[in-house]
């Protein structure tokens, strides 16, 4: 009988997942694992909305700024490390919290990674060269044709993710999404998904305000310090690449900031699409009293 429970807190960016995860961790007297792939890197703080020092002190956190942008770190690496960490936590506690905006990384912990065909290095190199010569939009269009389902879910502004999907499409002749959601790996825990929902206007308002606050807190200088490393995969992310374009003289600062807001809203849409396919989620309304959610979680635990 499985007695250990992982509570996975999910929802669109800027909706308040960190705050909810901390409150749940305090209630259940447990620890938090971050599955936000943007928050893994110690050189990126403001643009990734890393929990503040105050928040980090409120509950034990893991996988926050534990890597460098110069490290090679894959979702497979994260899966292995996260499972080891959960094994350790579950020796003393019956509940742990997983929080993140990266659906792929959440699924890696909960279900395990899917199996994909091996890709010859030349296919990857060809796609990387195409991105340099014709731009990311060229690869985005190819992915849209070959796998429209995954195109709606993936962060299409991240060239690494687009190239990864396309190389599988090319080597297999099948959509990348056809390899997803294979048989789950056996886990020592069961998972309860908790999703935060809100009207789209609220989500977009919070996103726009967060970007403004990031700029007020020094995102421009943070991006300037990282500009010389802009080709690294870790920096191919919203909030940095738009400012890199500003430093390149391709656009003015106001336009770059509006692009960050626009691309973050697009990312939130993809998160909503990803979560919509999951019918196991316990939904909580944005701003709802946490005691209501805790009762929902306890009732769900009793059902199992």
d(CA 300, CA 290): 15
Residues 101 and 225 in one domain: yes
Q: Are 152 and 144 in contact (CB under 8 A)?
A: no
Mention every residue, 6+ apart, whose C-beta is less than 8 A from residue 61: 31, 32, 33, 34, 51
Binding-site residue set = 11-18
Of 162, 179, 196, the last residue of a domain is 179
Residues 67 and 161 in one domain: no
| The total number of structural domains that make up the chain | 2
Rg (Cα) of the chain, in Å, rounded?
19
- pTM for this prediction: 0.85
Q: Which domain holds residue 138?
A: 121-179
Residue recorded with tokens 């890197």? 41
Residues 168 and 209 in one domain: no
Residues 85 and 24 in one domain: yes
pLDDT, tens only, 250-261: 999 999 999 999
Residues 142 and 217 in one domain: no
pLDDT, tens only, 53-111: 999 999 999 999 999 999 988 888 999 999 999 999 999 999 999 998 788 899 999 99
For the ranges 50-54, 112-116, 137-141, 249-253, the lowest mean pLDDT is seen at 112-116
For the ranges 138-142, 180-184, 276-280, 284-288, the lowest mean pLDDT is seen at 180-184
Domain at 272, CATH number? 3.40.50.300
Q: Residue 234: is its pLDDT beyond 80?
A: yes
d(CA 64, CA 49): 11
Of 130, 150, 179, the last residue of a domain is 179
Residues 9 and 149 in one domain: no
Binding-site residue set for ATP = 11-18
Binding-site residue set for substrate = 13-18
Residues 89 and 130 in one domain: no
In this prediction, residue 304 carries a pLDDT of: 58
Q: Are 32 and 97 in contact (CB under 8 A)?
A: yes
d(CA 155, CA 176): 14
Residues 235 and 216 in one domain: yes
d(CA 18, CA 210): 14
């Amino acid at each position: 009988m499985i007695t250990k429970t992982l509570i996975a807190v999910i929802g669109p960016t800027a909706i308040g997942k960190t705050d909810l995860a901390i409150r749940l961790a305090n209630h259940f007297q447990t620890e938090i694992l971050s599955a936000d792939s943007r928050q893994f890197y110690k050189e990126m703080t403001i643009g990734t909305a890393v929990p503040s020092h105050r928040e980090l002190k409120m509950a034990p956190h893991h996988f926050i700024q534990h890597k460098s942008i110069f490290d090679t770190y894959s979702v497979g690496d994260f899966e292995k490390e996260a499972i080891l960490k959960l094994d350790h936590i579950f020796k003393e506690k019956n509940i742990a919290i997983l929080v993140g905006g990266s659906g792929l990384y959440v699924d890696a912990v909960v279900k395990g990674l899917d199996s994909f065909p091996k890709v010859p290095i030349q296919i990857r190199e060809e796609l990387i060269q195409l991105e340099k010569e014709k731009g990311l939009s060229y690869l985005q269009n190819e992915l849209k044709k070959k796998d429209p389902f995954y195109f709606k879910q993936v962060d299409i502004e991240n060239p690494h993710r687009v190239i990864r999907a396309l190389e599988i499409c090319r080597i297999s002749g099948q959509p990348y999404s056809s390899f997803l959601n294979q048989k789950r790996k056996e886990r020592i825990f069961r998972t309860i998904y908790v999703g935060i929902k809100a009207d789209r206007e609220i989500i977009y308002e919070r996103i726009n305000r967060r970007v403004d606050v990031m700029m007020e807190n020094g995102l421009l200088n943070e991006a300037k310090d990282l500009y010389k490393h802009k080709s690294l995969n870790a920096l191919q992310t919203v909030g940095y690449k738009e400012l890199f374009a500003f430093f390149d003289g391709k656009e003015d600062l106001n336009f770059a900031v509006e692009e960050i807001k626009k691309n973050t809203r697009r990312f939130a849409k993809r998160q909503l699409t990803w979560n919509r396919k999951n019918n196991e989620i316990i939904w909580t309304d944005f701003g709802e009293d946490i005691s209501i959610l805790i009762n929902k979680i306890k009732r769900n635990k009793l059902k199992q």
